Amino acid sequence: MRADQRELRAASTRLAVQFALLIVALFAVLGGVAYFVVTTGQNEAAHRALSDASMVDSVHDAPRNLLITVVMPDGSRDSSPQLPKGLPDEAALQDVIRNGGSRLDTVEAGGRSYLTQTDVRRGKVVQVSYGLGELEEEQDRLIVALVVSGLIAAVAAAGIGLLLARRSMRPMSEALALQRRFVADAGHELRTPLTLLSTRAQLLRRRLAGGDVSASADDLRDGLDEIVDDSRALTEIVEDLLTAADPRQSAEAEGVDLGALAAVVARSAEGRAHERGIAITTRAAEDAVVTGAPVSLRRLIVALVDNALDHAASRVGVDVSASRDEVTLTVSDDGPGFVDEEHAFDRFASTRATTGDVGHERHYGLGLALVAEVVDRHGGAVAAAAAPGGGAEVVVRLPRARSERGSTSGAAE
């Protein structure tokens, strides 16, 4: 699950980075357009200022933002005070004096740029210069503002993109986790019934293939009935798993005698227990009825009994008792007990001490996790602890069916 979370976080980060890059690209395009529009407007304003000064041929008539140099026909000059070094543009003046016409140049003077127009007006050569310093400063400020805004937009876009990506991918993550959980649950829950079904089918085939004369028609019919029952049980388990996996669905609840159901499960496990030399004892109170899904409750008991058989040394106890408000199911064994009761119901957790038995099937840490889920769906509580006489026990408490609450009956062997 951690690998899935890392992959989803990495995917969310990639989406956020791509979204941020997209925003930055769009912002760069818009910034470029804005910069082009502003600079074009400023250049047009500078040209209009020079055009408006086309009739000026005297230093005294020049506006404050213009610098003027006038060359008289006799060669004398009159210039605006405090001209920066580099003005007037002597090359432009000499060119217009010799050849006439008009020139428009950009001149660097005193560390600043000037848009300069030189032409002949009423026999005088007039050079008008418009300072571009303020325009360049405004352009620099615009560039800085665009860069800072772009960085802020990139960071904000990355944060918002990451938030939106994780929010949009959360359903995908949940669906993936649900899918994998269903596969794991199905494999765990179907393993034992499939093994039992295969065993019964093989026994029946051996009887038929070996010509066992002791096998009567009734025995064969019973064997076939058991296979049919096992197939029906598999179908019910699959349906219950599908119901548990889909939060939109819920199984029909009915009154279930937990004591009777526990006794049936214990009897079906006696063959496996006998092979391992383990004794199963059952004690069930009468009228220990709860409201729930029979298939789910059967899965719960089967998981607890299988878990106990996997770790027991010589005995497994199944005890069902009832009080006024709840029914208690206790499954205990004399095995090594729990190493960590607190995490016994975590998925894929192995909190049992080793038994030293190498012949056991591989355990995936799902049995008690499935028990906890079934108990939660039925509004109950479950706990794992050390058994009083040594070993381990799992205690399940479920609400007693309303119609059955009352005085409790004695336990029956």
Tell whether the model's pLDDT for residue 411 goes beyond 60.
no
- Which pLDDT value is given to residue 367? 64
User: Cα 4 to chain center, whole Å?
Assistant: 9
- Which pLDDT value is given to residue 10? 80
Cα(191)–Cα(88) distance, integer angstroms: 99
Place 399 in a pLDDT band, splitting at 50, 70 and 90.
Answer: very high
Q: What is the mean pLDDT of residues 205-230?
A: 68
- Which pLDDT value is given to residue 38? 87
Cα(23)–Cα(27) distance, integer angstroms: 6
Retrieve residue 160's tokens.
């918002």
CA-only gyration radius of the chain, Å: 46
Which letter does DSSP use for residue 278 in this model? -
Tell whether the model's pLDDT for residue 158 goes beyond 80.
yes
Tell whether the model's pLDDT for residue 141 goes beyond 80.
yes
Over the stretch 355-369, which tens digit does the pLDDT of each residue have?
Answer: 545 444 444 345 677
Contact 322, 401 (CB under 8 A): no
Cα(144)–Cα(139) distance, integer angstroms: 9
Q: What is the mean pLDDT of residues 303-323?
A: 89
- Which pLDDT value is given to residue 216? 64
Cα(103)–Cα(93) distance, integer angstroms: 9
- Which pLDDT value is given to residue 15? 83
Tell whether the model's pLDDT for residue 212 goes beyond 60.
no
pTM: 0.47
Name the percent of the chain lying above pLDDT 70.
Answer: 73
**Across the chain, what does the average pLDDT equal?**
78
Tell whether the model's pLDDT for residue 40 goes beyond 60.
yes
For 178, residues 6+ apart whose C-beta sits below 8 A from its C-beta are 245
Distances (CA, A) of 250 to 77, 144, 218, 319, 398: 102, 61, 39, 28, 18
Cα(305)–Cα(303) distance, integer angstroms: 6
- Which pLDDT value is given to residue 363? 45
Query: Is residue 286 helix, strand or coil?
Result: coil
- Which pLDDT value is given to residue 35? 86
- Which pLDDT value is given to residue 281? 92
Over the stretch 106-136, which tens digit does the pLDDT of each residue have?
Answer: 888 888 888 888 888 878 888 888 888 888 8
Q: How many residues does the chain have?
A: 413
- Which pLDDT value is given to residue 403? 61
- Which pLDDT value is given to residue 257? 92
- Which pLDDT value is given to residue 318? 94
Name the percent of the chain lying above pLDDT 90.
Answer: 10
Mean pLDDT is lowest, of 24-28, 99-103, 251-255, 384-388, for 251-255
Place 229 in a pLDDT band, splitting at 50, 70 and 90.
Answer: low
Place 240 in a pLDDT band, splitting at 50, 70 and 90.
Answer: low
Distances (CA, A) of 298 to 233, 268, 303, 321, 334: 10, 12, 8, 17, 23
Mean pLDDT is lowest, of 81-85, 199-203, 368-372, for 199-203
